[in-house]
Amino acid sequence: MKVSSRACGPVTVAKAYRLLHAILNTATDDRLIRRNPCRIKGAGQEDSPEREVISLETLVELLDRVPPRYRALVLLATFASLRFGELAGLRRGQLDLEGCAVRIVISTAETDDGRLIDDDPKSQAGRRRVAFPKEIAPELRWHLERFAQPGEGGLVFIGPKGGRLRRSTFRRTWTKARTAIGLPDLHFHDLRHTGNTMAAGQSASLRELMERMGHSSARAALIYQHATQQRDEAIAAGMGKLLRRARRKAARPGGGAGTELPSGTQRARGRKRAS
C-alpha cells in the first residue's frame, strides 16, 4: 500500500537517514554485513518548527466561523488532542458521552489514488482512551443527533453529501475559517498542539502526556513540558514584580508597612546582635 505524503508528511533527510539506518541494522543482525556504515551523529534528528498555539478566545471565534457540522471536529481535535486521521475514522461506539471519553482504535489514511484506508493507529500507543471536558459533551451529542451516521459503527464525521470525510474536502472549509479570523497560516494539526499545551499546563506528568497524545516516545511530550516550565517561570517572574512593587510602596513615607522587608542577611545580623 502506498500512502499519500498528505497523510504521513514529506520525506525529510532525517527520515530517510533513519530508514536507511534501520535497514542496515537488520542487515547487520542477519550477518550480511559486519558493521552498520550509517553512523552519522545527529543525522537522524530533525528540528520541527514551533507550532501555533491559539488562545481559547481565538478558538471560540474559530468555532463561530466553522460550519455547524465541523464544530465537534474542532472541539475533539483540541480538547482530546486527536489527529485528523483519528477523527476521520471515528465511530459512534468509540464516543462515551456519559464518561466524557473517546477510544481511539482506528486511523484513516488517504492513498495517492484517492482511496481511504482504515487501519490501526501508527503505534500501539496510538490505541488509547482520552478524556475530554464535560463542557463539550452537549455539543458532541448535538452533533451525533444531526450529522453522524446511525448505529454503533456509524461514522461520527462525514462530508456534506454523506460521503467519507476527506482532508482535501475539509481543507477548503478550514482555509476559509482560519482566514476569516486573521490566521491564514493556522494548520488543523495546531489544534492538537494547542490541546497538548493546555494539558501540560494542568500539571500533567510526562507519562500522562504520552498516553494522551498516543506517543510511545517521550520526545514529543517533553516539548510540552518544556513549554509549561517556561510558562511557570514567567508566572514566577510576574509574582516577583508584584512583590517588588509592594516593597517599593511600603518603603515610601506613609506607605503603610514602613520599610522594605529585611533580607536574609539583615535578619541574621539582627539575631546575632540580639544574642
**Cβ neighbour number for residue 228 with a 10 Å cutoff:** 19
Q: Tens-digit pLDDT profile for the chain (275 aa)?
A: 444 444 444 456 666 766 777 787 777 776 777 787 877 655 545 444 456 789 999 999 999 999 999 999 999 999 998 999 999 999 999 999 999 999 999 888 888 788 888 877 665 556 888 889 999 999 999 999 999 999 999 999 999 999 999 988 899 999 999 999 999 999 999 999 888 888 877 777 777 777 787 755 666 656 666 665 666 566 667 777 887 887 788 887 765 544 444 555 555 555 555 55
Query: Please, what are the domains in the chain?
Result: 1-47 (no CATH), 56-186 (1.10.443.10)
Catalytic residues: 83, 189, 192, 215, 224
Q: Which residues pair with 95 in a beta bridge?
A: 102
Take residue 5 and report the three cell numbers written for it.
505524503
DSSP states of 113-144: TS-EEEE--SSGGGSEEEE--GGGHHHHHHHH
Take residue 9 and report the three cell numbers written for it.
508528511
Q: How far apart, in whole angstroms, are the C-alpha atoms of residue 65 and residue 53?
A: 18
pLDDT at residue 257, as a whole number: 47
pLDDT at residue 227, as a whole number: 60
Does this model's pTM top 0.75? My answer is: no
pLDDT at residue 146, as a whole number: 96
User: Residue 71 in contact with residue 143, Cβ under 8 Å?
Assistant: yes
Cell 559486519 belongs to residue: 34
Tell me the residue type at 172: R
User: Residue 156 in contact with residue 148, Cβ under 8 Å?
Assistant: yes
